[in-house]
Structure 1
Amino acid sequence: MILDIYKDSLEYSAKDWKTLVILGVICLFTLLLLPAFLITGYNYRVINTAVHGVINGRDPLPDFEDLISMFVDGVKVVIVQILYLLLPIIIFFVFAVVAGQANGVAASAIMIIGCIMTFVAFVVAELMIQMGICHMAYNDGAFSKAFAISEIKEVIDEIGWFECIATLLGLIVITLVIFSVVSIIIGIIFTVFGISTAVLGINPSAIFILGGIINSLITMFLVGPYLSIFNSRSIGLLYTMQI
């Protein structure tokens, strides 16, 4: 089932390259912060489509319309993320403070325990974030549903904690692999060009600089948006496994 989710999401994300370019253009202005909420809001729409759809269905990519609503959705998602991540952050700082009051081996032991507990809390928080956002989308965008802990836990129990964590880890691996493969391919192409120009007695610096620029552009305008849709779609479909 997890492989079916990945297959569906990989195909779904490539349905409309124009959408990827639009998201890439918005990424150019993310340093202004406000556009970042639009990207998050669009990914939320992808999740919303997925939680109301089926694996290997004919769901279309969301349209870029009603930008105010998209922006608001993005803000809601970011708030959900921040609030859930507060727990592992607090746990880490509590242990850091306690370790700071101890000495030698005791301080090291406390920090090791703190790091382990922080990691566990982070994994749980990340899972609650993803399923909480899906639960909010499934319940018509009701913000309170993102924090309906008992309901979200029931969803995760129904899907299976192992399946949920395995899916998230798989998304991380796939994301890193795609980024790496694209960068390596572009790197090899421009390395060959660079070596060829060097053999001809031409300074290859410009070729390598051009390769870096093209790699950045492809990552921003195509690969990055593609993977953000892929991840959002996968999470949304994972949620449907309990319905």
Structure 2
Amino acid sequence: MASYSAIISNASEYVKTGLIDHWKRWIVLIILSLIQMFTINIIPLVSGYLVRVYAQPDDMAPEIDEYGKLFVDGWKMNIVTILYMIPAIIIALAFGAVGVISALAGLFAEGKMTHIGGLMVGSIGLFLAFLVFLLITLVMNMAYVHFSRSGRLLDAFSIGEITRNISDGIGWGSYIVMWIIVWLLTTVFFFIISGLTMIPILGWLALLALTPLWSVFLAKINGNVYYNRP
């Protein structure tokens, strides 16, 4: 099993040599990020590029070309994300609806127990939805890589193969620890970006420049975990 530091170090080097050293590719990716952001993910060219990163287990970052294919692959990734998130969304909406109805009933009742009950139900629902979201994310991260290898959308939902690949590869325990580390790194990155955006103009330029790098960094970590390397 590859070590956590090796996986992260390899992903960092991948970003450096593939994008920072090839700055023209980096600039194109920034432009594509702007397009994806302003079209509210309707033109998901960066997502399509991430699919290309997932599909290649080597350490050579892919070129940014064939924009039609990037668009199609980006929408495949959108569809996978939406379908995987449906259970968490249903739980959040169901408990949220019950909580709202109970809270409204409490406003018209003499006592406040219904109101308190509604808040409790809503809170429990959001907590359950969050737990389901975390579990789904663990599988979905590998589903991205699994379908990217073949290009077949249905492969993203081969849950048995995906979970078996995790078990036989890095192992579930190590995989969960790996993503706890990644979530912590993402939190640090989020706070850094939040701080930078407080600086007029310069902060937003940093946000535009760093976000694509971070997306590719996370995608490469996904790929390294899936392929159980470096």
TM superposition score normalised by structure 2: 0.81
| 1:239 match | 226
| 1:3 match | 5
Alpha carbons of 1:215 and 1:118: their partners in 2 closer, same or farther (altered >3 Å)? same
Deviation, 1:213, is 0.9
Post-superposition Cα deviations, 1:97-130, rounded to whole Å, max 9, x if no partner, equal: 2334442343233223212211111001111211
Deviation, 1:38, is 0.6
Deviation, 1:95, is 1.3
Deviation, 1:180, is 4.3
| 1:202 match | none
Unaligned runs of at least 5 residues, structure 2: 103-113
* Paired residue secondary structure (2:201): helix
Alpha carbons of 1:182 and 1:14: their partners in 2 closer, same or farther (altered >3 Å)? farther
Number of positions where the alignment pairs a residue of Structure 1 with one of Structure 2: 210
* 1:37 and 1:71 in contact (8 A); partners too: yes
| 2:179 match | 168
Alpha carbons of 1:115 and 1:175: their partners in 2 closer, same or farther (altered >3 Å)? closer
1:110-149 to structure 2, matched below 5 A, reads 110-138=121-149, 140-149=150-159
CA separation in 1, counterparts of 2:41 and 2:115? 46
1:1-243 to structure 2, matched below 5 A, reads 1-15=3-17, 16-17=19-20, 18=23, 19-30=25-36, 31-33=38-40, 36-49=43-56, 52-53=57-58, 59-102=59-102, 103-138=114-149, 140-158=150-168, 159-178=170-189, 180-181=191-192, 211-221=199-209, 223-241=210-228
CA separation in 2, counterparts of 1:74 and 1:62? 15
* 2:96 and 2:122 in contact (8 A); partners too: yes
* Paired residue secondary structure (1:64): coil
* 1:26 and 1:35 in contact (8 A); partners too: no
* Paired residue secondary structure (1:109): helix
Deviation, 1:225, is 1.5
Post-superposition Cα deviations, 1:169-215, rounded to whole Å, max 9, x if no partner, equal: 3223223434545776x79xxxxxxxxxxxxxxxxxxxx9xx52122
- Kindly provide the amino acid, as one letter, of the partner of residue 151 in structure 1: E
CA separation in 1, counterparts of 2:194 and 2:138? 29
Name the Cα RMSD after superposition. 2.4
Deviation, 1:22, is 1.3
Post-superposition Cα deviations, 1:196-240, rounded to whole Å, max 9, x if no partner, equal: xxxxxxxxxxxx9xx52122112212x112111101000111111
CA separation in 2, counterparts of 1:132 and 1:35? 21
State the identity as a percent.
Answer: 27
CA separation in 1, counterparts of 2:121 and 2:218? 35
CA separation in 1, counterparts of 2:90 and 2:99? 14
TM superposition score normalised by structure 1: 0.77
- Kindly provide the amino acid, as one letter, of the partner of residue 42 in structure 1: Y
- Kindly provide the amino acid, as one letter, of the partner of residue 97 in structure 1: A
CA separation in 1, counterparts of 2:194 and 2:131? 32
CA separation in 1, counterparts of 2:94 and 2:191? 37
Unaligned runs of at least 5 residues, structure 1: 54-58, 188-207
Post-superposition Cα deviations, 1:50-69, rounded to whole Å, max 9, x if no partner, equal: xx33xxxxx21100121111
* Paired residue secondary structure (1:212): coil
* 1:27 and 1:35 in contact (8 A); partners too: no
Structure number with greater CO (CA < 8 Å, separation at least 6) is: 1
Kindly name which structure, 1 or 2, has the bigger radius of gyration based on alpha carbons.
1
Deviation, 1:46, is 1.0
Deviation, 1:47, is 1.3
CA separation in 1, counterparts of 2:129 and 2:65? 40
| 1:203 match | none
